[in-house]
A and B are shown apart, each in its own frame.
Chain A
Amino acid sequence: MGYFSDIYHGIGTLLTGMRVTGKYFINARKGAITQQYPDNRDTLQMFERFRGEVVMPHDENNEHSCTGCQKCELACPNGSIEIIWDRVIDPETGKKKKAIDQHIYHLGMCTQCGLCVDACPSDAIKWAQNFENSVYDRTQLTRILNKPGSKVRAGVEE
């Protein structure tokens, strides 16, 4: 009786498939995953894992947590990150220590691989969710991530 059970089984599986797509059809208006991009520009939320560009978050005291260890620079396969650093005298201890002058990030060379963010020991850099990265002049793709006058947050180096 394999013949008839085959037919029965076949129809059963076809109906299972149709039930799945039927559910999608009914829920299409609520659950459409298409983003109507230029229209919903103001409300569009990118998902968390999206890699737009590398940024360095600063807190309200204009402090970041980059110690200038250069691990991101070493990790980058394209040489997109250049760190210009200097030794400065710590006002509290009076000792010389390393501090960044400029954290330069070349967005034009970046492949969004994320190795720099993974390599950073102090979580000083992270991914931003912006995606409208085109500019009219390629010099604008070279960005200095630390804001002018910023300094490293105390206690990050321990």
Chain B
Amino acid sequence: MNSISNMIDWFVSTGVLNMAMIALIYLTVFAVLGLFLVLLERKVAAWFQLRIGPNRVGYLGLFQTIADALKLVSKELTGTVKADKFLYNLAPYFVIVTSLMALAVFPFTRDLQAFDINIGVFFLVAISSIGVIGILLGGWSSNNKFALIGAMRSGVQTISYELSVGISLLTMVILTGSLQLSEIIEVQKSGWLIVQGHIPAIIAFMIYMIAGTAETNRAPFDMVEAESELGAGYHTEYSGMKFAYFFLAEFINMFIIAALATTVFFGGWLSPFGITDSLPWMGLFWFLAKTFVLVFLMMWFRWTFPRLRVDQLLTLEWKYLLPINLVNLVLMAVIVWLNLTIQI
């Protein structure tokens, strides 16, 4: 009896219990958020194509994705005979765990931040490159040529576009002088960074959105999945909940890219012109509103542009985005050095 109470004391005193509780809350909230994003994608896609979209399950089809998730949970987990069983089962966890880990560092409002580290932006860039290992593992261990081609394309694409994401974020870090996300938001109390940094910030934002869309493997950069060529790409052989992990991770990654853009370019939870400064909880509203506007922008890209070829993708990155990005980085450095930023 005594040893059990000692253990409980240890859990409470070291904060492990708190961490576990926060992790559980985050998991629940973001699983639901992922499902909601899938529904939003389907509805937005329908409206872009003059359709109606899911409207049968529940009021206005709001429970459609929950029904889909329940179906996926109840399905059999299949696999190929010659699959590398260990890696095959490990791959979905790589993908989902990294995207959930990335969520920990976001400041959703003034004090709602699970993990405020001083290398926040660096942590996010690092974590997002681990996700591609899961995709490569999944594609390779499936023992399926389509999955392997999809995974290899993903490797090419993510590794190329990570450079652009990294450098465009670095451009903004010159302006903030800090990698800590809460610090970046503090800096923006005198104007959102896209206003403070004017021309180079806008260029950096455009590059970030293009590269971010490519990094989440969404259309027009979805050669990784390319339904018309590869079946479903790297997750062709996955079924049931393991497939759902890949699917959910894709949508949470989209949220992460949009949330990071919100934090770095659009002032995170800060309200425009400080109109709701007296109501701290409104920060959450502003954060989510800005994020969903950017998520909508990514959906708009997806349902407008046709898929690129692999060589076009690499041309875009290495001949256009990267050189412009490097020039832009120098431009931003000059602007910060000469104090040409706009402060409100």
Q: In the complex, which residue of chain A has the Cβ closest to the Cβ of B299?
A: A25
Instruction: List the A side residues contacting B304 at CB < 8 Å.
Output: 14, 17-18, 20-21
Cβ contact of A28, chosen from B48, B301, B305, B324, cutoff 8 A: B48
Interface footprint category on A: 10 to 19
Q: Using Cβ atoms and an 8 Å threshold, which residues of chain B touch A34?
A: 50-52
Chain A residues within an 8 Å CB radius of B44: 25
Chain B 298-320 near chain A by CB (<8 Å), digits 1 or 0: 00110111000000000000001
Choice from A20, A25, A36 contacting B52 with Cβ under 8 Å? A36
Contact B320 A7 (CB under 8 A): yes
A1 contacts chain B at the CB level, 8 A cutoff: no
Instruction: Tell me, in angstroms, the Cα distance from A25 to B46 when the chains sit together.
Output: 9
On chain B, the residues within 8 Å of A50 by CB distance are none
A31 to B48, CA, bound (A): 11
Kindly report which residue of chain B lies nearest to residue A17, judged by CB atoms: B304
Please tell me if A77 contacts chain B, counting CB pairs below 8 Å.
no
Give the residues in chain B near A154, CB-CB below 8 Å. Answer: none
A32 within 8 Å of B (CB atoms): yes
Bitwise, A13-48 to B at CB < 8 A (1) or not (0) is 010011011101101110111101000000000000
Asked if residues B52 and A17 are in contact (CB atoms below 8 Å), the reply is: no
Would A17 and B50 count as touching, CB distance under 8 A?
A: no
On whether the beta carbons of B52 and A21 are closer than 8 Å, the reply is: no
A17-B320 Cα distance, complex, nearest whole Å: 21
Q: Using known A-B contacts A7-B320, A28-B46, determine if residue A21 contacts B303 with beta carbons closer than 8 Å.
A: yes
B50 touches A31 (CB 8 A): yes
Chain A contact surface mostly:
helix
Partner of B47, one of A17, A18, A28, A33: A28
With CB as the reference atom, state the residue of chain B lying closest to A31: B50
Is residue B118 contacting chain A, with contact meaning CB distance below 8 A?
A: no
A29-B304 Cα distance, complex, nearest whole Å = 18
Q: When the two chains form the complex, which single residue of B48, B52, B320, B324 contacts A24, counting CB atoms closer than 8 Å?
A: B48
CB-CB < 8 A to A20: which residues of B? 304
* Closest CB in chain B relative to A102 CB, distance in Å: 45
Interface residue? B49 (CB, 8 A): yes
Please tell me if the beta carbons of A22 and B300 are within 8 angstroms of each other in the complex.
yes
Q: Which of B50, B305, B320 is close to A33, meaning CB atoms less than 8 Å apart? A: B50
* Bound-state Cα–Cα, A32 to B47, Å: 8
Q: Verify A32–B300 contact, CB threshold 8 A.
A: no
A14: chain B residues at CB < 8 Å are 304-305
Q: Roughly how many angstroms separate A21 CA and B305 CA in the complex, as a whole number?
A: 10
CA distance A28 to B47 in the complex (A): 5
B: residues with CB less than 8 A from A are 44, 46-52, 300-301, 303-305, 320, 324
Given known contacts A24-B48, A28-B47, A36-B52, what 18 new A-B pairs fall within 8 Å (CB)? A7-B324, A17-B305, A18-B300, A21-B300, A21-B303, A21-B304, A22-B300, A24-B47, A24-B50, A27-B50, A28-B46, A28-B48, A29-B47, A32-B50, A32-B51, A32-B52, A34-B50, A34-B51
